[in-house]
Amino acid sequence: MKKWTVIMLVLSMCLLGSSTALAHGNSHNDSRQEQLQSCKDAVNRLNAVLAKVKNDRTRAILKRMIASFKAECEAGNNGDSTYQKDLAKVNADKNALAIQFLGNDNSKSVTLPVILSTKGKNGSAITWTSSNTSILASNGLLINRPQYNDATVDMTATIRSGNATTTKTFRLIVKSTAPAMSDIDRVKKDYEALNIVFGGSDTIDSVTQPFKELPSKGVYGSTVTWESTLPSVISNDGKKVVRPPSGSGSTTVVFTAQVRSGSYKETKVFIVKVKEQLPDAQRVAADKAALQIDFGGSDSAGRVTRPFDALPAYGVNGSSIKWMSSSPAVLSDDGKTLHRPAASVGDTFVLMTAVITSGSAVDVKQFTLTVKADFTSTEKVAADKADLAITFKDSDNAGYVTKPLGLPSKGYYGSTIIWYSSNTSVLSDNGTVLHRPAHGQGDVTVNLTAFISNNGVGDVKVFTVTVKQQ
């Protein structure tokens, strides 16, 4: 567990100190030196935190914040002639700054290391930061070209002279080692990889329940649309399955998938068999074997901390299911109401009994559950970290982002969550602003760092997403 309490406290102090200094600067010229000292103190606090942090992603975020604070503080120093000279120097060096490419490379086609100036023509010191060091190092000398898709890398130069600082960012397209994939190649590869994801233990020759997934996107980016020849048996989206009556035999359904990229498409056919319904006794036995509780969040039978997401009222084979709790004052029969014991009391146990019925056949299945006592702050942070996830829109996922993201600001157990993006020019810190790379520039990998804190205790969780080019 990383202790982020100090970091969050210092950041809060720095933010407050900086905003106060800037707010007063317009009306109290005689306090300029005091304001500048306040700014320097804020930056020093951040640097002190930076010295204690070892995580590379977190260090990059802190460095970005430090640069931002320095820029704000130095903006208030416009009455200092030395500062003005330094500012003119860094601005001149910024205007003249360029990246030197090797061979036939240019900013839109980088295949070799790049040469980065460390000193401006007017004497400014220049340091560089790469938005994706796994592709192109911050010194420009180490390059690792992606295997399939081009990658966009922002190289940011920080230009300093005295107290004056400015930045300049160059967007580079690092070319993949493989040739660009045509629509035909993309469709053919996605065609080969495409499969139905069946529910439970189902197979293509034994379908008893809705499909777990009918992919709408291929691995290489093709779009996929599905159609059932018997939607009254299996719906086109695979979410509804109506099994034939017992004794009538299995029903064959043909599913067709249209795999398309650009103007090229291919059709893949899946022949599935929907099994007939079982006799009552076999139905109850099968539903008992398959029956599970749908726990909330990252809960399990040995760790119940929130109401259940669902207690099934019917089995996958059609049996009806009734539930009873051994302690409804702690956990209700329907699993929707939970009263956890106080921390001083400790954990408690609840027996949930499911009565499974079909016709005259009846059986029971019991689940022994541990209801956890109320959490400490440390446990709340750990639980909120375990449950934390990004919400993607439509068919997006971590490896295929085309729309803004949902990033929770509060955990179920009460923790506060603050997010930082490793590349705000592509994806904002809060995930609501997305700038996809232009077609041909390649996909961009972005790291999203979540700071999770609760009553003086904190931790961090990092997610990696791929923003697709247009």
Write out pLDDT tens, residues 259-274.
Answer: 999 999 999 999 999 9
Q: What is the CATH number for 3?
A: 1.20.58
pLDDT score of 176: 82
Above 70 in pLDDT, residue 384? yes
Lowest mean pLDDT among 76-80, 294-298, 424-428: 76-80
The band of 4, judged by pLDDT with boundaries at 50, 70 and 90, is: very low
Q: Is 227 among the domain residues?
A: yes
pLDDT score of 266: 96
Q: What is the mean pLDDT of residues 136-146?
A: 91
Q: Is 168 among the domain residues?
A: no
Q: Crossing angle for the helix pair 5-25 and 32-52, nearest 10 degrees?
A: 160
pLDDT score of 180: 67
Above 90 in pLDDT, residue 21? no
CB 401 within 8 A of CB 430: no
Residues 316 and 400 in one domain: no
pLDDT score of 226: 97
The span from the CA of 449 to the CA of 457, in Å, is 17
Q: Quick count: other Cβ atoms within 10 Å of Cβ 222? A: 26
Please state the domain count of the chain.
Answer: 4
Residues 6+ away with beta carbon under 8 Å from 201 = none
Q: What is the CATH number for 338?
A: 2.60.40
pLDDT tens track for 56-82: 767 777 787 777 767 766 665 554 578
Sign of CA dihedral 252, 271, 226, 394: positive
Q: Is 119 among the domain residues?
A: no
Residues 70 and 56 in one domain: yes
- Final residue of a structural domain among 258, 274, 290: 274
The span from the CA of 383 to the CA of 413, in Å, is 7
Lowest mean pLDDT among 31-45, 111-125, 188-202: 31-45
Lowest mean pLDDT among 15-19, 71-75, 443-447: 15-19
Q: Is 163 among the domain residues?
A: no
- Final residue of a structural domain among 224, 255, 274: 274
Residues 370 and 392 in one domain: no
The span from the CA of 420 to the CA of 345, in Å, is 39
Helix (H, G, I), strand (E, B) or coil at 260: strand
Residues 316 and 362 in one domain: yes
Residues 248 and 268 in one domain: yes
The span from the CA of 428 to the CA of 107, in Å, is 23
Distance from the first to the final alpha carbon of the chain: 39
Q: Output 110 or 394, whichever has higher pLDDT.
A: 110
Short-list 116, 215, 214, CA closest to 168: 116
Q: Is 85 among the domain residues?
A: no
Q: Is 155 among the domain residues?
A: no
Helix (H, G, I), strand (E, B) or coil at 168: strand
pLDDT score of 134: 87
pLDDT score of 75: 60
Task: Kindly report the average pLDDT of the chain as a whole number.
Answer: 86
pTM of the model: 0.49
The band of 12, judged by pLDDT with boundaries at 50, 70 and 90, is: very low
Determine the structural domain holding residue 402 and report its residue range: 378-467
The span from the CA of 98 to the CA of 100, in Å, is 6
pLDDT score of 73: 64
The band of 221, judged by pLDDT with boundaries at 50, 70 and 90, is: confident
The band of 1, judged by pLDDT with boundaries at 50, 70 and 90, is: very low
pLDDT score of 10: 46
Residues 389 and 342 in one domain: no
Residues 293 and 262 in one domain: no
Lowest mean pLDDT among 70-79, 98-107, 201-210, 439-448: 70-79
Q: Is 115 among the domain residues?
A: no
What is residue 161's DSSP assignment? E
Residues 254 and 294 in one domain: no
Q: Is 455 among the domain residues?
A: yes
The band of 297, judged by pLDDT with boundaries at 50, 70 and 90, is: confident
- Final residue of a structural domain among 16, 51, 79: 79
